[in-house]
Amino acid sequence: MSAPSRPTLTERRADELRMTIALAARELFLADGSTSATVERICEKVGIAPRTFHRHFPVKEDVVMPLFREFGSLSVQILQQSDPTGDPVDTLVEAFTTEVTKSGEAEIDRKFMALIIDDPQYRLRWLDWGQDLTDPITEFLDHRVDLGTEPFVRTLPAQLVIEVCRQAYIHWVQDADITTLESVIRAGMQMIVRAMPPAPCAT
């Protein structure tokens, strides 16, 4: 399998602009205590025209997706760099909680997630989060447990990992205790990993 091509300078700049817009929207949402900030206000904060905004985000609600994708990218990095002999549950918990617990902004992140979850359109974006993580999570698990050979069945554990994370963060918003986030994700990951046979030993 060939290595993925590196993004071009234009693509990197576009990604950087999308993240800048997303962070500006996040700041306005938190300041307002709602997701009602208009596209025009977000654009004014960033210093861009509305047509530039819509070139990157067809609808306003898509503005949060760069934040979710960045979280997913950081999680994948932890999975890919993990010790293959380590406990997969520990690694999964670290991958999907470290960015929040070590950022020093856990309460700010929780308040932002509360705004997202309370708005039906933004909540849909969160519930759609993680679909592009199926392959890297499957690859991570494949070296540690026996996923079998049937393509659909092989990806089911990764889908369950993603769903555990989605629901754990929704629970955290309501519970407000960061230790609960870790414990709920750990409980979910243990259920998934322990339900699968260990990877067959190489001969």
Distance CA 151, CA 185 (A): 25
Tokens 């654009």 locate to 43
- Does residue 178 carry a pLDDT above 90? no
Structure tokens at 118: 């309370």
Phi, psi for 198 (deg, rounded to 5):
-65, 160
Own/partner contacts of 95-102, CB < 8 Å, gap of 24 or more, are 96/161, 96/165, 96/168, 96/185, 97/181, 97/182, 97/185, 98/74, 99/71, 99/74, 99/75, 100/178, 100/181, 101/178, 101/181, 101/182
Question: What domains appear along the chain, each with residue ranges and CATH number?
Answer: 64-194 (1.10.357.10)
Task: Tell me which residue of 78, 73, 86 sits closest to 132, measured CA to CA.
Answer: 73
Provide mean pLDDT across the span 1-12.
Answer: 70
Q: How would residue 203 be classed by pLDDT, with cut points 50, 70 and 90?
A: very low
- Does residue 150 carry a pLDDT above 90? yes
Alpha helices in the chain (DSSP H): 9-32, 39-46, 50-56, 65-80, 88-101, 106-118, 120-128, 134-142, 151-175, 178-194
Task: Tell me which residue of 91, 97, 95, 159 sits closest to 128, measured CA to CA.
Answer: 159
Q: Is 198 exposed, middle or buried (0-12, 13-18, 19+ CB in 10 A)?
A: exposed
Q: How far apart are the first and last CA of the chain?
A: 24
**CB–CB of 147/196 below 8 Å?**
yes
- Does residue 202 carry a pLDDT above 50? no
pLDDT value at residue 2: 47
Q: How would residue 135 be classed by pLDDT, with cut points 50, 70 and 90?
A: very high
Over the stretch 138-147, which tens digit does the pLDDT of each residue have? Answer: 999 998 999 9
Distance CA 21, CA 15 (A): 10
Over the stretch 24-76, which tens digit does the pLDDT of each residue have? Answer: 999 999 999 999 999 999 999 999 999 999 999 999 999 999 999 999 999 99
Distance CA 149, CA 1 (A): 19
Distance CA 49, CA 135 (A): 37
- Does residue 201 carry a pLDDT above 70? no
What is the pTM for the complete model shown? Answer: 0.88
